[in-house]
Structure 1
């Protein structure tokens, strides 16, 4: 009985301690690890929301870009950080779900190494080609790929990235084969298509819209269920003649596992307020993305749904990091 009473008091004390920690939190700057290069949609949207969250918390949020291995390098670093709420991680469907299914030869932190905080953006993928490409529509690209097997390549933000998965799914549905050229982030991938190094890219409106508007890239389709507001004249892949390749990528904040629940709940509450800001919603929309409102529990559910959806797709298409 004494042991039971002692355990109960210990739990009560721990609960009070966590509550007090959450009330005092944060008492110093927070680091946000972004596992991709600066300039891509993960970086741009992460910085946007981090700035607003910083205002809510009253402490600076310092962005630390750690690109490489499709996000695995940044994920590994963040997962090993002290679980005190002062290191956050900008995770994606790739880093939290599909990388582990694809990159068998890379040390991928499991989902259990992280605590979900909040998912705030869902990003469509757009298929872009260099301005002088000999194809002007999606079906013309498909016809060219079929007539020139093995001669087309496409760029993405890295092995296992959402753009990589979308590119592989698109090829499977369209019945074509292109060579994947992985980069360390969206910005360098798009730059190499603009420069003519790679003919095609699967990427996001946030990193391609300016090149599309100034004529340095041609957008053939958005691989999404509907047109995006920032590219109203660009058809969906289904509208352009290729159905069944619809895909997107959510992005959000995570913390190292064992971060106190009270701190996770505080961050999730503050993110809910941030995402109610019309300015944030508008800027996300301007990126060609869709604002999400998934708190920690909803994000956990999203991760499980994606695991169920993508595992058989990756197995069927035989996507790998090689």
Structure 2
């Protein structure tokens, strides 16, 4: 009987080793839960290209936007756990959606295995160049005089920018009206078109418009100035301290994916993030390279869960 048990264990170990050596044997799908052209999509495509080169297999991008990333998260969580579906999760999809989107089906944290966190993104507050407020101080004063009349756009309910916007209002003592979109690109386009007054978004989608003069950056809601927009003050420098926030992003796989595949993907992403070209391109997006392996990403999720549960006790989020 013992010989049979040893044989089975040996056979399973040999099969796992063979699988580890041959994976991947076919193209991999990366599910991105937002529309193309936003920072989630741009950074995901960049990381996928670098990771594909290391794995020797194509990585096909599949955008599945909706419900603040919940649509794509639900789809990815139900995929076969074989390493051929990767999900690009965010603080929103992995932490805060479950706290605020009460009427939307949200996968539990246990539905995913963490692979690697690779980007931390700052939020920038932007307005049209002809807006009636030209500084953050003027925006706050205008919003105080006109409660609820300033519309602000974000990439969607539960997105990092949305929560940053709510945190900013709480700290500044103002009330604005949230207008959610299905991604950063349509939010910024409507700001350019005049449909909304303000946008909380990322330099990846706003920097070119800021530099061309079509948009004005009032502040970066982050702990320090960012290299892609060095002349833009932080919210604290502009008079609203305490609203510092950021939005991390990383790769996940469905729960149940073999541990050796998760480790292979995490190890390869660690090598991707040592690539100086990768780091430079992330900086050019107005973001910060993040180096968080599976265990570190799990801790980031745990820490964020505690922080935002406290914040959301003070802030009312409209999830409709």
What TM-score does the superposition give when structure 1 sets the normalisation length?
0.97
SS at match of 1:321: coil
8 Å CA contact 1:127, 1:222 repeated in 2: yes
- Matched with 2:156 is 158
Q: Give the counterpart of 1:216 among 193, 214, 229.
A: 214
| Alpha-carbon separation, structure 2, partners of 1:90 and 1:37 | 12
Q: Using the TM superposition, give the Cα deviation of residue 195 of structure 1 relative to its aligned residue in structure 2, in angstroms.
A: 1.0
Q: Using the TM superposition, give the Cα deviation of residue 320 of structure 1 relative to its aligned residue in structure 2, in angstroms.
A: 3.6
Q: Give the counterpart of 2:186 among 181, 184, 188.
A: 188
Q: Give the counterpart of 1:277 among 255, 275, 300.
A: 275
Distance change in 2, residues 1:270/1:151 (3 Å): same
Distance change in 2, residues 1:310/1:8 (3 Å): farther
Q: Give the counterpart of 1:61 among 40, 59, 62.
A: 59
RMSD of aligned alpha carbons: 1.1
Query: Within the alignment, does 1:129 sit opposite 2:127 as a pair?
Result: yes
- Matched with 1:259 is 257
Q: How many residues are matched?
A: 320
Q: Using the TM superposition, give the Cα deviation of residue 7 of structure 1 relative to its aligned residue in structure 2, in angstroms.
A: 5.2
Q: Give the counterpart of 1:293 among 287, 291, 294.
A: 291
Q: Using the TM superposition, give the Cα deviation of residue 287 of structure 1 relative to its aligned residue in structure 2, in angstroms.
A: 0.5
Q: Using the TM superposition, give the Cα deviation of residue 111 of structure 1 relative to its aligned residue in structure 2, in angstroms.
A: 0.8
Q: Which runs of 5+ in 1 are unaligned?
A: none
Distance change in 2, residues 1:184/1:262 (3 Å): same
- Matched with 2:239 is 241
- Matched with 1:304 is 302
SS at match of 2:232: coil
Q: Using the TM superposition, give the Cα deviation of residue 16 of structure 1 relative to its aligned residue in structure 2, in angstroms.
A: 3.0
- Matched with 2:21 is 23
Distance change in 2, residues 1:241/1:86 (3 Å): same
Q: Using the TM superposition, give the Cα deviation of residue 5 of structure 1 relative to its aligned residue in structure 2, in angstroms.
A: 6.6
Worse-matched range after superposition: 17-26 or 184-193:
17-26
| Alpha-carbon separation, structure 1, partners of 2:64 and 2:300 | 25
Distance change in 2, residues 1:177/1:12 (3 Å): farther
| Alpha-carbon separation, structure 2, partners of 1:105 and 1:169 | 22
Q: Using the TM superposition, give the Cα deviation of residue 318 of structure 1 relative to its aligned residue in structure 2, in angstroms.
A: 2.0
Q: Using the TM superposition, give the Cα deviation of residue 6 of structure 1 relative to its aligned residue in structure 2, in angstroms.
A: 5.2
Write out aligned runs for 1:29-44 (5 A): 29-44=27-42
Q: Which runs of 5+ in 2 are unaligned?
A: none
- Matched with 1:173 is 171
| Alpha-carbon separation, structure 1, partners of 2:6 and 2:306 | 39
Q: Using the TM superposition, give the Cα deviation of residue 11 of structure 1 relative to its aligned residue in structure 2, in angstroms.
A: 4.3
Q: Using the TM superposition, give the Cα deviation of residue 8 of structure 1 relative to its aligned residue in structure 2, in angstroms.
A: 5.6
| Alpha-carbon separation, structure 2, partners of 1:12 and 1:265 | 21
| Alpha-carbon separation, structure 1, partners of 2:133 and 2:174 | 15
Q: Give the counterpart of 1:94 among 92, 95, 100.
A: 92
